[in-house]
Structure 1
Amino acid sequence: MALLGSFSAGSLTSCASQETEQETVATATTTNSMNITKEPFGTTPDGQEVSLYTLTNKHGVTAKITDYGGIVTSLVTPDREGDMGDVVLGFDTLKDYYPNDPYFGGIVGRFANRIAKGKFTLDGQEYTLATNNGPNHLHGGNIGFDKKVWQVEELPGQNALKLTYVSKDGEEGYPGNLTSTVIYTLTEDNELKIDYEATTDKATPVNLTNHSYFNLSAGESKDILSHLVQINADKYTPVSEELIPTGELAAVEGTPMDLREPQPVGQDIGQVPGGYDHNYVLNGGQEDMTLAATVYDPKTGRFMEVYTTQPGIQFYTGNFLDGTLTGKNGEKYTKHYGLALETQHFPDSPNQEQFPSVILRPGETYKQSTIYKFSTKEDNK
């Protein structure tokens, strides 16, 4: 079975020494033009204090990230006129992120996307997971990684946050004690870089991603149908009515799934039952950093490039947003208000032997990286 991803022998290492946390309401650490601030963000129902961290670079780009779920609550970038705007969907307060938010901005795991019937067999033993998406398991179960409070270490010299979470053996039905580390870095090139690592003491499936919803108009447009999307993939994984891959790697050519050239999201979405919610098989890469996708908003000129070491990317067009959620600044999140480009291994991989392996074993280290890079263009050429 081909292994597309990076599982290498070794153990987790820290990228920098831990900073001493100051016991104040808000703290700030500044290095040259880079800045990290910390402030209270509320308390979970079980009494855990939650903080909100803000990373800022020399261009004034900011990323707000909370230790609850590793959620990117805000990402502010300039448009072609230099005006700043928040390009991710989310909420103003912690309490709005539970229990029913659609994974806005969170780290999802232990397995991102779906596992059919909530079951898989590993080394001769069958494991049963929560079925929280119809008959299937989705994004780690009832209380996935996006609903956990992570330990945070500030890395001010890198303008980065290191988040760590230990998932106990049996949590949500998964085997093994899994230690996951996610480092968010805001670079001076207007990149939000996400580095994932994980180790385990028992064989287990691992598939981590970030689930941000993007609207590059920063709310000027109430849907993303005019955004131009390009995905560097000749094939995708067709799905059943329950959105479980059939196992086929189908060619995109001649179908509405063909996004190899930039085109408006709304151009062919009417030919895709339910809208786009599909995994694309990325060309090249899978260990090397590869340009996976681009998104361009003609209205504001914002341009986003997605690079990853992952073998797949889930393109989702906010099909289930229905206006019942009120987000930041009182915005009603209606259908297609945002799109997600979730870098990942393929859905249902534990049950699909022909897919790249997602099994992490003791002595190995899961490693993946994704970059969301922001710039502007004068037109769509």
Structure 2
Amino acid sequence: MERTLKLNDGTEVHLTIFTELNAAYMENTDQLDHACFNIYIHPTLCLINLLPIDIKYLIDFVKEIDLKSNQSCSMISANRNSTLTFIIQSYDNTRWISDAIDLEFERTNDHYEYLVLFHYATSPNLEKTLRMILRVDTIHESYRLSLYSPFWIFNYIDLKLELQIENNRTFIDVAQTPVLVCPERFESETNRKGQLRLYGIEQGDTMADWSENFSLDVIRNISVVSCEVPNDRKYMICVDVETGPSSLVKIIEFSPSIVIINKSIIAIEIVETVSDKEQDQWVSVYPEQTIPFWPRNMKDGVMRVRYTCNHVKSSPFTITPTYRTLLQMDYEEHPVLCVEVTTNGQGRITVIFEDYEANDTPLVNCKQTDSVSFCEIDDL
């Protein structure tokens, strides 16, 4: 049952009272002999912000109230006949305001979901909208409202992308902030798939191929998809899908399948080679810098490295197996460069360049009784 209390200042507080009758045991026995009443007192409405951004909300169009990301609040001044409006102060460099939501829902089960449409706050007549979901759970006859977006997209590569989920396409710019995606068919479904392609200003539907499908309904999965572009080049992109802070949310991260890390004190440049021929322009990698690497021939995976200061370059080396080796460089101040290739076993490759230091390659004699003599090849 719902009850309204009026405070001394005239403010009304809306509460829901739920009673529960349970059988109780006699003390120190296993015999049921009397009834026990449990009385629960809840605010009629409780709101949870499951978005990665802060929001504001208005009850019956009165007074904006702040609600930070991943926080909840008891809306004691609201009841089931109230109207709720949401405001997103800043997303995609825009202020958004939602359509008014009538909280007098017709309940069919313990939970249901309601599509919330946001519009530009300054230009509400523009067609561009932002979709969110308001989930309503009934707990002891009170309402728990959860505002969320089912997909948070992070683009960690230097390319603009386009994501397709159930024929809904979303542009994913190069940014460190999440893109919030809600398909038109927002009802919870299993076996939802996504596809990816590179996005260009002059790119039409026929100029870039969609990647293979990747599953979105997983607890955690890392895979690599290939995106082809018109010049017969394939971009291998790592897709990391995991359940977010709420089970209602999936976080999708796009990152390059190959990254180059320069831990040397000297600037270097890298290039892909096929049959000992350079395939592209040399790309600079400064000390402590990390960059993506997009080879044309992923099958062979061969590259060279050179110093930026004098263009002294190494022999070709592969980036496919996991190993650590030394590259001879014809430069007196830095005669050797160490390269380490690692993989996480799920398609993501990391190539790390480091300076060679004394004692980096110790020789250990594991023989119990025999001595070992050694010298460098050129000293024989």
In the superposition, the TM-score normalised over structure 2's length comes to 0.23
In the superposition, the TM-score normalised over structure 1's length comes to 0.23
Higher share of residues assigned strand? 2
Higher share of residues assigned helix? 1
